[in-house]
Structure 1
Amino acid sequence: MNLDPVPLTRAQRLALTTASFLFLVVATMSLGPLIAGSGWWWLCAFIAAGVLFSGVGLRALRTTAALVPVLELVVLLLLLTLVFSAGSSIALIIPTQGTFETFAQLISGAARTIEQQSVPAIPVPALTFALAFGVGVLAVLVDILVQTVRMPALAAAPALVPILIPGFIIEAGAEVPTLVLAAAAYLLLLRIDVRVRRRARLAAGDLDDDAATVVPPKRVPIASTLGATLGLAAVGILTASLLAASTPSISTSLLLGTPGQGTLFARGVSPFIDLGRDLRRPAPRPAFHYLARDGDRPYFTLLTLDRFEGEVWGVTEQAVDGDNTVDAMPRPDGLSSAVETSEHPIDVVVDEVRTTWLPVPYPATSIEGLDGSWFWDDGSLTVRSVDTNTAGQRYRVNRLEIDPTPAQLRAAPRDLPDELAPFLELPDELPAIIGETAASVTAGAGSPYDAAVAIQAYLRSNEFDYSTEAPVAEGYDGGGFDVIAKFLEVRAGYCVQFAATMAVLARESGIPARISIGYTQGSPSDDRVNGVQRVEVDTHDLHSWPELYFEGVGWVPFEPTPGRGTVPGYSRPGAGEGTNTPTQSAAPATPGASDRPDVDADRGLAGGTSDPFATNAWWIRGGSLTLAVIALLLIPAAIRAGQRLTRRRRIRAGEWAADAAWEELTATAADLGAGVADVETPRAVAARLGEREAFIAAEPRTALIALRDAVERERYGPAQLGPGTPGQDLLDELSVALAALAADAGPAERLRAALAPRSLFARVRRAFGERPPAGA
């Protein structure tokens, strides 16, 4: 293994740092297929440059090698503060408590965006923070391997992190051009390291005047290494190209025109939402409140379930589209200009709901005032975030009120566009009671609209009871077709069973259907703000309801659950016929406490909890992180303390006692910067230390000479320490000598010796093949 006995010049270190930077930023390009745009890459390049080239400056200032990585982490913190939290910092870069609160929010947002998004992910601030932080840490690791331990070949390990990630996420994997460029950059780094080592040795001259040497030229001829460099690069690039072409996980490139949707992140919301446990919790908690002009009292949708797979209802998986910002939302699907509409602004203040899905009336035209990044989904127009949640949000949503007439609904054509076929899908084998019920209830219906009204009236009739306990007692809780079959027999359940049953019966009757999950209108309070009544929505208002599609009108909500919500006027039996057919009360009934829905904090639909640690979670995370950093920084001191204890044990046990005492003396001298090299003989070391002011006194000098004589006898002579007192004598003499060394050093030197012992790092460098220069 080659040894580097001489330090590098500033120019040589700058060359290595430049090559390291190039290698790392090229490797980071591998994440390109996973993240939209290129702004995130430029930010990562900026962070990597700041960290790596700050190391060049620190070494130029002769900073202790062990402190350079620590100070590079400080630089990383300053850069992250500048980019992501300048407003809460001092002089734009000095972090404050608010800065760490912002970082905690960004870290939480990054976790959520990783759960929510699909590739290519939108580079929202939380995601770019995670990328910048990760690349900064990788830059520190690369710098340690290249500059501190002088093993640049190992720099491929941290650089492989961004290169390998795409292979685990998408079938295409990393792009071929990026792999080739990364291989070339890695070879360039290795070649620069070879030239730097050769130049450093040539500049140092002979290391030992007594050693026989062959004197090479005083410069490294480029011609002598150019062929090897080009050959090595060609082999590496050819190997990378063959690997990319023959490995399916990395052979398809988005840049080459074969983009494929993969799942960079999980979907964030379970496909099936079981509200039973939520509804059976008796104590309500505030969800949100709103101010609605014109007495507007809409339902608020969180998400829409449109896929029925027999056992569960689920959300059709789709990637978040970065262009679907909520400042302008499209007109709902299927709505014609013939249907009367009007817009109503609603001011919403979230109290304790914590979910990545925003409570929004369907449909909405725009939303203002949200914190974080929020996007609407195609078709359902539900709104979700990829980097934050609803906690503490205050926003204005402009609701589009749709007022279709029964005549317009009844006139809706039966022929439907092909894209609505998924909303008619049912399992091949349904329990017979479902088909029989659909046929009997809708018999005689002259149109899909009349069939829908009949199904709603059937489920809201006196034949069915609202109960959150019956499904549990009878063992049919949930929304699958077996549950629906049992529900139609028992005829008791809560909103999940009623909504799922109406949706399935509607599909069985040829009407596209889906289920919305959200909240009913809430309860008006006595408070008014600027003359507008405040409406409170709590967890008892959590609800599910079906939406059916009619061409020309679009998706229309129905309310089949008795005693819950409000029956829309267009869906009441006899509506539009000039009759006064009685219907269920428009005001929601109030079931008993056990029948009111509440929310479990674990479920994410409404997250209010009484957890006393919730509001101070950032203190816990910050404290844990601080303790982890402190523990990491104290590792060298702990290892050095272990060495010290081991050597003292050897002295007491008489196991090469003098050698152990001398090792501890020279290690402590090196830690305190006394200029002791491990290649010097004990007599030379004693002579060097004896010249220090602390050893002028008789007692320290006597102890130093005694230690020197003891180790020389033990190493080179036949004399052995006798049993008993000689070991204790050595300990006493060692203590005197160590006290003299400590007294001769300043407080800063003693602190650095305790936290960053030079002797320990010298052993690490030797283990990696680098011999420190004399006196290091």
Structure 2
Amino acid sequence: MRRDRAPLSRLQALALSAAAFLLLVVAVMALGPLLAGSGWWWLCAATAAAVLFGGAGLRAIRVPASLVPVGELGILLAVLTLFFGGTSSLLLFVPTAETFGVFGELLGGAQRTIAQQSVPAVVVPALAFALALGTGLLAVLADVLVLSLRLPALAAAPAMVPILVPGFLIEAGAEVGTLVLTAAAFLLLLRIDVRVRRRAALAHRDDDEVRITAPRRMPVGSTVLPTVGLAAAGLLAASVLTAATPSVSSSLLLGTGGQGALFARGVSPFLDLGRDLRRPDAVPAFSYVARDGDRPYFRLLTIDRFDGEVWGPGDRRIDGDNTVAEFPTPTGLGNEVARSQHPIDVTVQQLRTTWLPLPYPVSSVEGLDGSWFWDRGALTVRSADSDTSGQQYRATMLEVDPTAEQLRASGDRIPESIQEFTELPEDVPESVRELAAELGARGGTAYDRAVAIQEYLRGKDFTYSVEAPVEEGYDGGGLDVIAEFLEQREGYCVHFASTMAVLARELGIPSRISVGYTAGTPTTKRVENVSVVQVDSQDLHAWPELYFQGVGWVPFEPTPGRGTVPDYSRPGASETAPTPELVPGTPAPSPGARPDLDPERQLSGGQTAATTDDPVLWPLVTLVLLLILLLPAAARIWLRRVRVRRIRRDDRGADAAWREAMATASDLGYPAGSADALTPREAAEALLEEVGGLDDRARDALNALRDSVERARYGPPGTAAPASETALVDLVTALRAGSPVTARWRARLLPVSLLDTARAGRRAAARA
């Protein structure tokens, strides 16, 4: 498509910018099914408006067209600095080196939130930054296509980006209403462009061409019907692509396993937990200071979905309203149960996971970096854009102290919302059913039956072993594994926790499994005269939690030789109050080892997954700066090719050849090339003096180009003035060969002739 010769008026450029803005912000609406709320759309709209209308303003003050995209990138950077740079910027708009560091952290966080959240995703600051950045870059591309290259039909390309994204991530794809609105906005852009082109054609006069005046009224169908057809074709193509593109997942923003969970469906975390427990060297995970002397378990997540083979976390997405500044009362906890609050300060060392180690329950968490949210059911805490690495935070633990009488008084009542935690597959082994019936007969209430299960598993017939399940081939937590474990009676926390959870469900008691850490080992280090407790990889643990109405979810400890048995779960707890059974701590941690709790590797195992301390920061910054630096060179190459095409078409080829020769001279540092006040003959003589001598071939080429442009400019109408592309190549080659290497590189990267061209264009526009 040929570019308009006449420059756009300010009003025409503004109309096209407005149409491109409307197309882009309507297309961005297609991301609505993936994102929660609407604030993100207003942010994207503001960014697009700043870029596109900022570009219109640059054109209004006659900034060279080749530099407008550079200016728009600068506007985008200023907008991002204003919205996200915070105190790292100067005067709110000017980025500093620290600002780029902030941007890198936000990009790293955006990568994590895309991998960690389900849809609709909570738009945390990192994700908002990525949306604003992406929209701004699409706006720059749309502006280049619509106003710089005058190819508005290609503006469908940036608009299709947000349209197609939902089709890759959710089954339904983009909404039909959004597709229709986008097609309408695209139609409006094409219609405005047709009107602008027609007005430019009617207003344009050429001295050597006959002006043809168009009729005052054109048939409506001559312009409307083609644009309607093109928009309809675009709508049809978008609909087909959206419907035909297979989604990555029906529940994930990016499909990487279960719904934003630590474990993929069908993969058991227990095998990897066992590997960590079998490690000869402990890996320091985190330390904590509890001024009230508390030694709680630290829970990472609960797994409550059981299909007979593996346990997995429930399908619950992150809720942006569930911030960690305040937690609700735990499910099922009645007012009559004693409770107290105790602060615990945690410092994470070599633990890297999106789940936060916390006692259960807590009332608040302070001091976290990133966006963290609690899960409504289990009150576990996970991040949408960060991880635990290097975190330091204070958790206010809500110590719940139920009595055996309160647990027994809860009876067998189960709320409807908890019924799902009693579900088991139909193929429960007969041996498991028989054992459950036998243990259930020992107690009259759900509490008594739960205590009987724990007492049985902690009995002298069972042995703690991390090796036997592997050697005998029954590692894991499935029903067949449980049946074999009950025969072998050797295993570790995985086997004891999953067995108690299954036996409890078989007896109608809601159960789930928590995965996390036991209380750790006190060290000699002290903070404010309080011992620092170290927790390492060998403190990894799994334990069951059972639900009792009026008390809520209550932890039990069926694993012999591990952890602490709660007072309320001891046989005869209602009659005596024995001192808790404390098991000796695990070996001291070995510093310097790698963390091995990673959500992408199912809690552990061999190789370390790729982690980002913002690995995209400097490559991205470098790439952006490189693109900005190369824009003048790209514009100069494009302008050179335009002139060469004019020479080949004989479209004022003599003038194009002369301008390209003088532009090359100007880029190489010869003043004669930029002296527009000189005639071609004067410029040629001045160039010969400045160069200091040209060979005969180059001199003949210069003279040939000079003669051609003189005949074209000063000869009578109709005078033939063909330009020789060969002469241009000869002269340019000679000029470059006679210049220093630094001058040649400067000519490529910083072509000053662009400014000469821009000044000439402004003068021509002023004369018009």
TM-score (norm 1): 0.79
1:175: which partner in 2? 175
Partner of 1:373: 371
Q: Structure 1 269/172 Cα, relative in aligned 2: closer, same or farther at 3 Å?
A: same
Secondary structure, aligned partner of 2:693 = helix
Q: 2:689 aligned with 1:700, yes or no?
A: no
- Tell whether the 8 Å contact from 1:369 to 1:396 is kept in structure 2 after alignment: yes
Q: Which amino acid letter does the alignment assign opposite residue 112 of structure 2?
A: R
Partner of 2:545: 547
Whether the 8 Å CA contact 1:373–1:386 is kept in 2: the answer is yes
Q: 1:469 aligns with which of 456, 467, 470?
A: 467
Q: Distance in 1 between matches of 2:254 and 2:734?
A: 62
Q: Of residues 596, 599, 602 in structure 2, which corresponds to 1:600?
A: 596
Deviations 1:512-568 (A, max 9, x none): 110001111122233433344332222222211000111221111011112111000
Please state whether the residue corresponding to 1:699 is helix, strand or coil: coil
Match of 2:269 among 270, 273, 280: 273
Q: Which of 582, 587, 605 lines up with 1:586 in the alignment? A: 582
Q: Which letter maps to 2:617?
A: G
Residue in 1 that maps onto 2:347: 349
Q: Compared with structure 1, are the counterparts of its residues 318 and 536 closer, same or farther at alpha carbon in structure 2 (3 Å cutoff)?
A: same
1:190 corresponds in structure 2 to 190
1:396-417 CA-to-partner distances (Å, cap 9, x unmatched) read 2222222122222223222422
Structure 2 Cα separation of the partners of residues 316 and 373 of structure 1: 21
2:21 maps to a residue whose letter is F
1:13 maps onto 2:13 in alignment = yes
Report which stretch shifted further, 353-362 or 427-436: 427-436
Residues 186, 231 of structure 2: 8 Å contact kept: no
Q: Which residue of 2 aligns with 1:157?
A: 157
How far 1:84 sits from its partner (Å)?
0.4
AA aligned opposite 1:86: G
1:125 aligns with 2:114: no
* Contact 2:462/2:490 (<8 A) preserved: yes
Specify whether residues 669 and 543 from structure 1 end up closer, same or farther in structure 2 by C-alpha distance, changes over 3 A only: farther
How many Å separate the matches in 2 of 1:27 and 1:357?
35
Q: Which residue of 2 aligns with 1:37?
A: 37
Structure 1 unpaired stretches of 5+: 251-259, 645-661, 676-684, 713-728, 763-771
2:651 alignment counterpart: none
The reply to whether residue 264 of structure 1 matches residue 253 of structure 2 is yes
Q: Equivalent pairs: percent with the same residue? A: 53
Q: Which moved more, 1:702-711 or 1:193-202?
A: 702-711
SS of the residue corresponding to residue 587 of structure 1 reads: coil
Structure 2 spans left out of the alignment, 5+ residues = 641-654, 669-677, 707-726, 758-763
Larger CA deviation: 506-515 vs 691-700 = 691-700
Q: CA RMSD in A?
A: 4.3
CA contact (8 A) 1:354 1:606 kept: no
CA distance in 1, matches of 2:163, 2:250: 19
Contact 1:353–1:606 under 8 Å retained in 2: no
Supply the distance in 2 between the matched residues of 1:544 and 1:758 (Cα, whole angstroms).
Answer: 71
Supply the distance in 1 between the matched residues of 2:703 and 2:232 (Cα, whole angstroms). Answer: 62
Match of 1:514 among 504, 512, 517: 512
Cα distance in 2 between the residues matched to 1:14 and 1:71: 16
Q: For residue 142 of structure 2, what is the aligned residue in structure 1? A: 142
The CA deviation at 1:608 is: 13
Retained in 2: the 8 A contact 1:352–1:606? no
Conservation of the 8 A alpha-carbon contact between 1:170 and 1:262: yes
Q: Using the TM superposition, give the Cα deviation of residue 137 of structure 1 relative to its aligned residue in structure 2, in angstroms.
A: 0.9
* Residue identity in the other structure for 2:513: I
Matched AA of 1:270: F
How many residues in Structure 1 have an aligned counterpart in Structure 2? 697
User: CA offset at residue 95 of structure 1?
Assistant: 2.2
- Shift in Å, 1:101: 2.0
Alignment partners' CA distance in 2, 1:732 and 1:143:
37
**Would you say 1:116 and 2:116 are equivalent positions?**
yes
Amino acid at match of 2:55: G
* 3-state SS in 2 of match to 1:302: strand
- 1:359 pairs with 2:391: no
Partner of residue 769, structure 1: none
Q: Using a 3 Å threshold, how does the CA distance of structure 1 residues 361 and 700 change in structure 2: closer, same or farther?
A: same
Structure 1 residue 96: Cα displacement: 2.4
Residue aligned with 1:349, SS:
strand
Q: Secondary structure at the match of 1:357?
A: coil
Aligned-pair distance for 1:429? 0.9
- 1:423-438 matched pairs, under 5 angstroms: 423-438=421-436
Query: Is 1:53 the counterpart of 2:53 in the alignment?
Result: yes
Q: CA deviation at 1:641?
A: 10
Alignment of 1:55-74 (within 5 A): 55-74=55-74
- Written as runs of structure 1 = structure 2, the 5 A alignment for 1:336-735 is 336-578=334-576, 585-588=581-584, 590=586, 600=596, 602-603=598-599, 617-618=613-614, 620-629=615-624, 632=627, 669-671=662-664, 691=684, 693-696=686-689, 699-700=693-694, 702-707=696-701, 735=733
* Structure 1 residues 233 and 603, CA gap change in structure 2 (3 angstroms): closer
| 2:70 matches 1:77 | no
The alpha-carbon distance between structure 1 residues 522 and 672, as it changes in their structure 2 partners (threshold 3 A), is farther
CA shift, 1:227, in A, is 6.9
Describe the superposition over 1:571-625 as per-residue Cα deviations: whole angstroms up to 9, x where unpaired.
1122223497xx993234547999xx9952555688999999979x44x533322
Give, as a single letter, the amino acid of the residue that structure 1 aligns with 2:183. Answer: A
* 8 Å Cα contact 1:423-1:514 kept in structure 2: yes
Taking structure 1 as reference, are residues 529 and 201 closer, same or farther at Cα in structure 2, changes over 3 Å only?
Answer: same
Give the deviation of 1:309 after TM superposition: 0.9
Name 2:166's counterpart in structure 1: 166
3-state SS of paired residue (1:26) = helix
AA of the residue aligned to 2:619: S
Structure 1 residues 608 and 65, CA gap change in structure 2 (3 angstroms):
farther
User: Residue 124 and residue 443 in structure 1: after superposition, are their counterparts in 2 closer, same or farther (change >3 A)?
Assistant: same
Query: Following the alignment from structure 2 to structure 1, what is the Cα–Cα distance between the partners of residues 639 and 119?
Result: 51
Q: Which whole-Å CA distance do the structure 1 matches of 2:242 and 2:135 have between them?
A: 27
Partner Cα separation in structure 2 for residue 115 and residue 88 of structure 1: 28
Q: Structure 1: how far apart are the matches of 2:149 and 2:231?
A: 27
Provide, for residues 469-528 of structure 1, a one-character-per-residue CA deviation record: whole Å limited to 9, x for no partner.
222222222211222222222222221121111111111222111000111112223343
* Counterpart residue number, 2:760: none
Question: Corresponding residue for 1:257?
Answer: none
Q: Output the CA distance in 1 between the equivalents of 2:68 and 2:634.
A: 20
AA at the equivalent of 1:389: D
- Range with bigger deviation, 305-314 or 382-391: 382-391
The aligned residue for residue 280 of structure 2 is: 282
Cα distance in 1 for residues equivalent to 2:25 and 2:729: 54
Q: Describe the shift of the 1:593–1:442 C-alpha distance in structure 2 as closer, same or farther (beyond 3 A).
A: farther
CA distance in 2: counterparts of 1:609 and 1:372, whole angstroms: 28
Name the CA distance, whole Å, in 2 between partners of 1:557 and 1:54.
60
More moved, 30-39 vs 696-705: 696-705
Deviations 1:187-228 (A, max 9, x none): 12111111222222222212x51x4542347xxx5x647676
The answer to whether the 8 A contact 2:306-2:424 is kept is yes
Q: TM-score, normalised by structure 2?
A: 0.80
Residues 220-235 of structure 1: matches in 2 within 5 Å? 224=218
Alignment match of 1:751 (pick from 743, 746, 752): 746
Report deviation, 1:248: 9.8
Q: Secondary structure in 1 aligned to 2:535?
A: strand
